Structure 1
């Protein structure tokens, strides 16, 4: 690497890549936008090629920029870990990706237990759909992803640590006008909310619908967001196919109910996915806590 490349160049580049522009980054760093622009121009000159494409006010990573970002993230994280190791009591930051299926109940319990045992480590949590978190995992932007088992085609260079089995359920608001009717009739009569096509649980739901003669059922909405799905169900007679963990609290409070589908095959493994080369004391401690919470909440048979 060119000896003129400094850490300030790398940090500025990573922040710009994350924000997609200069204004917010300049404000956060307490410098002027022209000064930040000069820093980026210096880095591109030193690297010998453009790292971003300018599209109006947006900055989009070039192919070279995306490649450089992946390695730059790993390098900065390694430097931060090294600096933290030299400071007693400084635990650094552990970056994890959290899928909706574990975000509302399981992960808060894991994070609170981890905090008690590792108060000096900051947990930086990124949420979003599966494809987004998988990209962050491969780029090194997160060190661990917690959620459903990825497809076999996605597992190259990754490892999966099984925690428990999660059922995909059909749910509705308490007091729904169709409760007690056959599920197939309800699905034909009322608006249906399905997971998006990119969601890992969508194929299982489609298989179940096909078994009822409802293949190709057109949903009213596609989402795995608790805020959106819960809001729609509580305000209407919509029916929602979703991982049970997403609405576990709503079911426990009696706000929503689970409809009997008569099938048990809509389930799948939930666990921790990480790069095989990933390591570190904080990461290992988090995995240990997650396994213990899974054993406590779901039983040894599922841990």
Structure 2
């Protein structure tokens, strides 16, 4: 047996709550127990595992490397146990998770994550919102969604929110296969064809604007603005237009050869993709499992 037989469910639930909150007194209040009792539970778990799970910094508990690794598995195990209990009561709902998906994660990463959640927690209902970055951040702040998956918000938007990095993703310049000017330098090409840009509300618009400024094309007026795959793909298929878009949106089209990537010659057209959630609030059944599956999916996609 790998796990010590003395480890109980109460140890795991206490550890998960402390890892989420980072504060013993807050968790003790939520669980209706004394702080010394909670401290003893944590100490018992660390003794049974034979390793420290937290280090203390001021008044907060910070996960050690071992604690971070253990947390990943504990959250998934607890969600699976809850889902298993719910499966014994047909017709009951283990939980509802409301998630906002930005275009960069909508076509490849998230569908796989959603299907995996359905496999391991079929009683969990996933409610999905899509829309521009500013809209989804507002829903997250207002408590209308529990999680946003996509580009990292700007620093000025992060008050009260937390971000977990999944991977770096480039913004690419794409065109239809067989584009007659595909071999031209970007500055030449962009002056001769219609340009499709991400909307002003998209988080990737700023680095695109900076790239154009570097080409002395600050005044370039786009022909269209969209981050929607169906629209952008349709415009490119029937014209010589080119499109600045996150690679994740058009990854399948590039792999099939329907679209081609035009080299931009710079490396800064990229950004972090990850999970944005509120720093505090009541626990949402199924949320930690969804986040763990997203992390697993991102590793498989890399």
Question: Does the alignment reach a TM-score above 0.5?
Answer: yes
State whether structure 2 residue 275 is matched by structure 1 residue 272. Answer: yes
Higher relative contact order (CA 8 A, sep 6+): 2
Deviation at 1:280, TM superposition (A): 2.9
Equivalent position of 1:293 in the other structure: 297
Does structure 1 retain, via aligned residues, the 8 Å contact 2:98–2:146?
Answer: yes
Equivalent position of 1:91 in the other structure: 94
Q: Partners of 2:126 and 2:204 in 1: how far apart?
A: 27
Moved over 2 A (4+): 87-90, 278-281
Equivalent position of 1:100 in the other structure: 103
Structure 1 residue runs without a partner (length 5+): 1-83, 299-303
Map Cα deviations across residues 25-63 of structure 1 (whole Å, 9 max, x no partner): xxxxxxxxxxxxxxxxxxxxxxxxxxxxxxxxxxxxxxx
Identify the match of residue 205 of structure 1 among 198, 208, 215: 208
Within 5 Å, which residues of 2 pair with 1:176-191?
176-191=179-194
Secondary structure (helix, strand or coil) at the match of 2:244 reads strand
Q: Partners of 1:276 and 1:295 in 2: how far apart?
A: 24
Identify the match of residue 242 of structure 1 among 245, 267, 291: 245
Secondary structure (helix, strand or coil) at the match of 2:191 reads helix
Equivalent position of 2:256 in the other structure: 253
Within 5 Å, which residues of 2 pair with 1:10-159?
88=89, 90-159=93-162
Equivalent position of 1:20 in the other structure: none
Deviation at 1:196, TM superposition (A): 1.1
Deviation at 1:274, TM superposition (A): 0.6
Deviation at 1:177, TM superposition (A): 1.0
Equivalent position of 2:288 in the other structure: 284
State whether structure 2 residue 231 is matched by structure 1 residue 228. Answer: yes
Q: Partners of 1:280 and 1:142 in 2: how far apart?
A: 11
Map Cα deviations across residues 170-210 of structure 1 (whole Å, 9 max, x no partner): 00000111111111110000000111111110110011111
Q: Partners of 2:228 and 2:274 in 1: how far apart?
A: 19
State whether structure 2 residue 163 is matched by structure 1 residue 160. Answer: yes
Q: Partners of 2:117 and 2:276 in 1: how far apart?
A: 18
Q: Partners of 2:140 and 2:159 in 1: how far apart?
A: 12
Equivalent position of 2:52 in the other structure: none
Map Cα deviations across residues 111-165 of structure 1 (whole Å, 9 max, x no partner): 1111111111111100000111111111111100001000111111110010000
Does structure 1 retain, via aligned residues, the 8 Å contact 2:172–2:261?
Answer: yes
Q: Partners of 1:249 and 1:91 in 2: how far apart?
A: 33
TM-score (norm 1): 0.69
Q: Partners of 2:262 and 2:119 in 1: how far apart?
A: 37
Q: Partners of 1:129 and 1:93 in 2: how far apart?
A: 22
Structure 2 residue runs without a partner (length 5+): 1-84
- Tell me the matched-pair count: 216
- Provide the aligned C-alpha RMSD in A: 1.8
Does structure 1 retain, via aligned residues, the 8 Å contact 2:93–2:125?
Answer: no
